[in-house]
Copies of this chain bind each other. A is one copy, B any other.
Amino acid sequence: MKNYKNVELGKLDEIIRLENGKVFLHDKLELSGCEVSINTVPGGFKVPFNHRHKQNEEVYIILKGEGILTVDGEPVNLKEGSAVKVLPDAARTIENTADGEFEFICIQAKQNSLEQFGLADAELC
């Protein structure tokens, strides 16, 4: 069995054509440590509900455009290079506040599951 799995998602701005403007990687790559969504949404897009998580911490990374992540009622302004961790219990929703496309990646991984990382988890070979 190969030690990797890959997929071609195409140009990231074309993700806007997919359902809800997002693609998930867990099933495509058979991930076991996290779920990842890549999102490209049009001007005016807003997730029409808040949600929490039971176990998973989320990380949002903004690639393009401008938006707001509302966390427990508090707005966090987003633009290219914004990165936000959201703890599981927080109520959150995200919106595109500009006219153009808004591109972001959202990672979810189980809170407190990472035991080691970086050089502590790596070995040269």
Contacts and interface: CB of A to CB of B under 8 A. Distances in A.
A36 B8 contact: no
A54 B120 CA distance: 9
Contacts of A105: 61, 105
A26 to B, nearest CB: 6
Contacts of A50: 124-125
A33 B8 contact: no
Contacts of A80: 10-12
B51 A122 contact: yes
A15 to B, nearest CB: 8
A6 B71 CA distance: 11
A53 interface: yes
